[in-house]
Amino acid sequence: MVAASFPFDTVLIANRGEIAVRIIGSLRKLGLRAAIVYHEVDAAAPAVALADVAIKISGKTPVSAYLDSEQIVAAARTVGAGALHPGYGFLSENAGFARAVATAGIAFIGPSPEVIELMGDKIRARNFVERSGFPVAPSAIEESDPSTFLARARSIGAPLLVKPSAGGGGKGMRIVRDLDLLEDAVAQARSEGQRYFGDGRLYVERYVEKPRHIEVQVLGDAFGSVVHLFERECSVQRRFQKIIEETPSPALSSQMRERICETAAGVARAAGYRNAGTVKFIFGRDEFYFLEMNTRLQVEHPVTEMITGVDLVAEQIAIAANRPLSFRQSDISAQGHAIEARLYAESPERGFSPTTGKVLMLDYPREEGVRVDSGIAQGQSITTAFDPMLAKVIVHAPTRDAAVDRSIRAVQDLVLLGCETNAAFLARVLGDCGFRNGEVHTGYLDENPGIASGLDEAPDEVTKLLAVAALVMRPVRDAADAVPALHAAIGDWRN
């Protein structure tokens, strides 16, 4: 594909960080001009330096600037962009934004606004998938009959998962194992849904104990063709947010893999899906249920690219240019195993609290089969203005064992000084016997808090070592040797 064959020569990137850098890479390969919007705090970011043209945008906060659709569409017009890539997050799944881009005569690199509305509303999406004949978990939807919602939820039986209809990222979700606590969980979930998404509608569904999170990458064109590019497992999570993703899933047999992947492609076909999307499932034992569909590129898309050799961003751009898919399902094959580890500015040892600082030194692993997608540079300040993800370490190897070993080396070889990260934690997760044996589920880290804390299976020994370390410090020693004031007041008197 070359620029001359596209109906546009400039693509505006309405995003920041590593995904903006990633999109620029594909635009370069296609010979297209890369434009980007940026807030002042990102002025020194790599994506801004790499773009052919950068347009400054403003807002009350950095995030609000990237959510200002009018400002972004105006920037696209200013640079003569014929297409706009939303990346992920921010406005990527906002149907109103997609509609505004199309109204401005600019190709939106994503699905139609109608499909975003359909699949972005969890309740509508679930009902659509069920009507289309695909498996969904037993559930109760509040808006269908609010007066009986709690009674219908209780009739499903514990455990239950309470979820807001809008949004994602685990916000507002509650697991209820005691039905006496259901009413409080519903109130809390409704409050969070309203706060985060401006939408307090809820639904509950049967919670699968120790569930695995399996998702399938799909691509669809404007001519009705839909293919899948196999599955990804994203079960290693904290607070319902992913940390490590891999493909293929160690939990699936070849027969189950085919069933899940074909189900995902069927959901996309039924929706008339166009562009890249991801269909997510909850998998437990020998059953799986539709969870939701993300109508955008996923953070973890690189593992799919590593095993298939398909540049998903380039395919997105070609589809937006009204091109048919250049391959059929039978043309796609998977080779080897790929793992992605997300590098966050956070402290797992302190409850995953966010961290900040200036990047004093930055060096990435250079081993063959290792790819790092990053949006930061040495000298850049890391703040709490945005999501804490700094980079993604992606590896590919012939086997899963080799991919795990390579991943551990890669995160250990990565150097980032000046801001605390979760790199050591990632190495602990990857080296954990449960992960190595493929026995994880979405609650695995909660069941094994020692992985996050860094404590081994002998906490008493760790406590003793910490006590010894404390006693060799001068302030602690002085305090231990000091005579209490009450005793000192006695003077030299002895009994």
Residue 153 lies inside a defined structural domain of this protein: yes
pLDDT, one tens digit per residue, over 127-162 is 999 999 999 988 898 888 889 999 999 999 999 999
> 């979760």: which residue's tokens?
422
- In this predicted structure, the answer to whether residue 461 has a pLDDT above a threshold of 80 is no
Q: What is the pTM of this model?
A: 0.86
> 């807001």: which residue's tokens?
164
Cα–Cα distance list, 380 to 17, 352, 356, 365, 453 (Å):
12, 22, 11, 19, 28
Q: Do residue 238 and residue 303 come from a single domain?
A: yes
What range does the domain containing 174 cover? 138-206
- In this predicted structure, the answer to whether residue 224 has a pLDDT above a threshold of 90 is yes
Residue 236 lies inside a defined structural domain of this protein: yes
Please report the sign of the dihedral spanned by the C-alpha atoms of residue 407, residue 412, residue 416, residue 419: positive
CATH number for the domain including 393?
3.30.470.20
pLDDT, one tens digit per residue, over 321-374 is 999 999 999 999 999 999 999 999 999 999 999 999 999 999 999 999 999 999
In DSSP terms, 85 is beta-bridged to: 13
Specify the pLDDT at position 203.
Answer: 86
Residue 319 lies inside a defined structural domain of this protein: yes
**Phi and psi (nearest 5°) for 85?**
-105, 120
Domain end: 422, 438, 453, which one?
A: 453
pLDDT, one tens digit per residue, over 68-79 is 999 999 999 999
pLDDT, one tens digit per residue, over 87-102 is 999 999 999 999 999 9
What span, in angstroms and rounded, lies between the C-alpha atoms of 227 and 319? 13
- In this predicted structure, the answer to whether residue 489 has a pLDDT above a threshold of 70 is no
CB 317 within 8 Å of CB 309 = no
Q: Which of 133, 126, 92 is nearest to 110 (CA)?
A: 92
| Helix, strand or coil, per DSSP, at residue 25 | helix
Q: Do residue 72 and residue 168 come from a single domain?
A: no
pLDDT, one tens digit per residue, over 273-288 is 999 999 999 998 788 9
Q: Do residue 101 and residue 177 come from a single domain?
A: no
Rama region for 313: left / alpha / beta (φ>0; ψ in -120 to 50; rest): alpha
Residue 485 lies inside a defined structural domain of this protein: no
- In this predicted structure, the answer to whether residue 257 has a pLDDT above a threshold of 70 is yes
Q: Do residue 314 and residue 292 come from a single domain?
A: yes
Specify the pLDDT at position 200.
Answer: 85
Tokens describing residue 364: 């990435």
* Number of domains forming the structure of the chain: 3
Q: Do residue 216 and residue 192 come from a single domain?
A: no
What span, in angstroms and rounded, lies between the C-alpha atoms of 107 and 36? 15
Specify the pLDDT at position 485.
Answer: 65
Please report the sign of the dihedral spanned by the C-alpha atoms of residue 246, residue 163, residue 296, residue 57: negative
Residue 77 lies inside a defined structural domain of this protein: yes
Q: Average the pLDDT over each of 21-25, 318-322, 335-339, 478-482 and give the range with the smallest value.
A: 478-482
- In this predicted structure, the answer to whether residue 169 has a pLDDT above a threshold of 70 is no
Q: Do residue 103 and residue 228 come from a single domain?
A: no
Residue 126 lies inside a defined structural domain of this protein: no
Q: Do residue 239 and residue 317 come from a single domain?
A: yes
